[in-house]
Amino acid sequence: MALHSPITMAFQKPRRAAGKVKYTVFAVVTLCVLYYLRNSATATFNTAFRPIGDHLNGGTPQSPTKPGDKTRPNAHTHPITTLIEGAEVAFEDLLRKESHDLKSAAAAYRTRRGRHPPPGFDAWYDFAEDNGAVMVEDFFDQIYHDLGPFWGVEPKVMRKEAWDYEMTINIRNQNASAGSGWFWTQIWLDLTKTIQHLLPDMDLALNSMDEPRIAVPWEDINGYMEKERASRKMAHPKDVVSDFQILSQHPDAEVEMAQKWWESKKETRRFWDIASRGCHPDSLARKAAHQTNFNDTPSITLAHTLPHTYKGYVSNFSLSADFCHQPDLQGLHGMMIEPLSVSSTRHLFPMFGGSKLPTNNEILLPAPMYWNGEERFSGGANHGANWVDKQNKVIWRGVATGGKNRPDNWKGFQRHRFVAMTNATQVSGAENWSQIPENFALPPSEYDIAAQQEGKLGRWTKEWADTGFIDLMCLEPEKNATCYYTDPYFKVNKAMKMAEQFNRKYVPDIDGNSFSGRYRGFLLSTSLPIKATIFREWHDSRLVPWKHFVPMDNRFMDFWGIMEYFVGFEGEVVKREGHDAQAERIALAGQEWANKVLRKEDMQIYVLRLLLEYARLSDERRDKMGWVADLL
């Protein structure tokens, strides 16, 4: 049984059944029992990230009562087909929640949040409407997941800790400024300036590192969220305060702050020791032994995938990224083995960043590279050829990042594993027992891979896989981007611009030192993103897996099955039909949707909403603040 974070538990709401699917009384009772058992204790995933589990209960498709309902699987239906059909229903359900006027948007807010909207909500709505936004309240769930614990922190303490931090954006009298010239700060400042005319006074502390930095123990977050729940109410409209405070240049000088006690690599190289404290005390991550040896070939199995998969394929993308029920990921991701740097605290204070793990407590902004639109992350104006003109291949190029790889730890790093398992020579060697895989495993029998049955897995992989490093990122940098301890297993490839990569059909996206900054560019392309990650981003609740992208488990054992489904296999004995049309449909649906909900305008709309909420939360009068013009 998975174990929820206290934030997820606080915001959990019963889910509606899909439009046409009607349940008998017995089914309803059964689902309620399952809901209670599932949500009385689960992982740290945010229910805002709209899992396909709405329609595939616990990863198992629900059997509808109507004959001919396409959501009903049968023994001959491929699991991916079932997941794609479930995603269509999930997306339709999401679109039915769209608001089309200010009054309905405010009503949706009160229903979902249990509070009045913040002051300035009308101006926010007008800004969003003027910029052609798709207005679904669920799209902003990440904001409330991030800010929820701060209802347990005094406003004056929030203000002082934000203002006093080393890298900040300061907003006074609708003018945003920053004292730091750090490029991430300047990019975020540029974004903020585009909406500064709508913002009250506030200070934003910024995380300048790739890695997230705040990891508060689950027990402490649970206490904060108890205070959040107790504060959730709607004051009588006549008692509501609808203006924001005015701050001095140096607010709350008399307020004392707690020590943050930053942890560094002197305390621990392994971020797992830090990250796992945010998991439930009874979770596998907290109870499992902490791995210390990373020099051996990693053990890669499906033992911990059941909560987030359906017949081996990811059915709940949010939960697949949550490591609290997956203790084996401590040895399968560079962030957990040894991040590039460690500077973390267990002290909760309001710091903004571009990504985080499920157990981190930063407040998410759109990542700087998304707003900046740099060609190496976006592909520029070229989003790829028409599907029919693309090469029927997988393309991946990147640097061997993921953390600080060393001679005795690189084998578990995610990018090293992915490149090795898509190298036909290494796969063939493992297949015919001429060499033992250093850092990957062949697919288990559950996936029933036809090429493997004929002893042709390596040869088949060669037909469609084109992956490689452009820099082996050695512990001690070497000429020509090589590395003495990984040279025997990897070669250095020439770099390839993203626009050129978009001439291939399939673009896997693998975490680096933190999240992958190319994801938005992949979604905006005409190619099909295949995504594996353990990180959260601002936009996650806007995307439906298997509708807008293909989710992949962080062990990558499902990758061969995913590719067999889409490209097919024709051998001497076994033939598997591909599903090229389905791949094209997902790729183009993802591109179309990204052009509606991941635009720069959508980033502005999200950040404006976030900062209005943050400003209210930082105000001493926050319990009575809101926008209630529609109720007066």
- Residues pairing with 506 in the sheet: 394, 528
Paired tokens of 546: 């298997």
Q: Does the pLDDT at position 37 exceed 80?
A: no
Higher pLDDT: 15 or 426? It is 426
Asked if residue 41 has pLDDT above 60, the reply is no
Radius of gyration of the chain from its Cα atoms, rounded to whole angstroms: 24
Alpha-carbon dihedral of residues 427, 432, 433, 434, nearest 10 degrees?
-80
Region for residue 146 given its phi and psi (left: phi exceeds 0; alpha: psi -120 to 50; beta: otherwise): alpha
Maximum Cα interatomic distance, the chain, rounded to a whole number of Å: 79
The model's pLDDT over 215-273, given as tens digits with 9 standing for 90+, comes to 999 999 999 999 999 999 999 999 999 999 999 999 998 999 999 999 988 777 789 99
Which of 10-14, 282-286, 351-355, 597-601 has the least mean pLDDT? 10-14
Residue 611 has pLDDT above 90, yes or no: yes
The stretch 347-351 carries a mean pLDDT of 98
Q: At what angle do helices 183-193 and 600-617 cross, to 10 degrees?
A: 90
Q: 424-431 and 457-464 are packed helices; what angle lies between their axes, rounded to 10 degrees?
A: 170
Q: Are strands 168-172 and 175-178 parallel, antiparallel or unpaired?
A: antiparallel
Give the pLDDT mean for 511-532.
95
Residue listed under structure tokens 């598997």: 576
Between CA 481 and CA 466 the distance in angstroms is 19
Cα(52)–Cα(83) distance, rounded to whole angstroms? Answer: 8
Render pLDDT for 115-139 as a digit per residue (tens, 0 to 9). Answer: 999 999 999 999 999 999 999 999 9
Task: Note the pLDDT tens digit of each residue in 293-320.
Answer: 999 999 999 999 999 999 999 999 999 9
Average pLDDT, the chain: 90
Buried b (16+ CB within 10 A) or exposed e, 250-265: ebbeeeeeeebeebee
CB of 462 within 8 A of CB of 424?
A: yes
What's the pLDDT score for residue 556? 98
CA dihedral of residues 396, 398, 404, 408 (deg, nearest 10): 50
- Banded pLDDT at 14 (limits 50, 70, 90): very low
**What local confidence, expressed as pLDDT, does residue 457 receive?**
98
- The two beta strands, 363-364 and 351-353, are parallel
Task: Give residue-wise pLDDT tens across range 525-579.
Answer: 999 999 999 999 999 999 999 999 999 999 999 999 999 999 999 999 999 999 9
Spatial distance between the Cα atoms of 24 and 17, rounded to a whole number of angstroms: 12
pLDDT-derived band at 10 (thresholds 50, 70, 90) equals: low
What is the CA 94 to chain-centroid distance, rounded? Answer: 18
The pLDDT tens digits for 66-120 are 434 444 456 689 999 999 999 999 999 999 999 999 999 999 999 999 999 999 9
What is the average per-residue pLDDT within 377-391?
91
596 CB neighbour count, 10 Å cutoff: 13
- Least confident piece of the model among 12-21, 285-294, 349-358, 483-492: 12-21
pLDDT more than 70, % of the chain: 89
Is a pLDDT exceeding 80 seen at residue 286?
yes
**What is the model's pLDDT at position 27?**
43
When mean pLDDT is compared across 48-52, 162-166, 221-225, 481-485, the lowest value belongs to 48-52
List the beta bridge partners of residue 528.
506
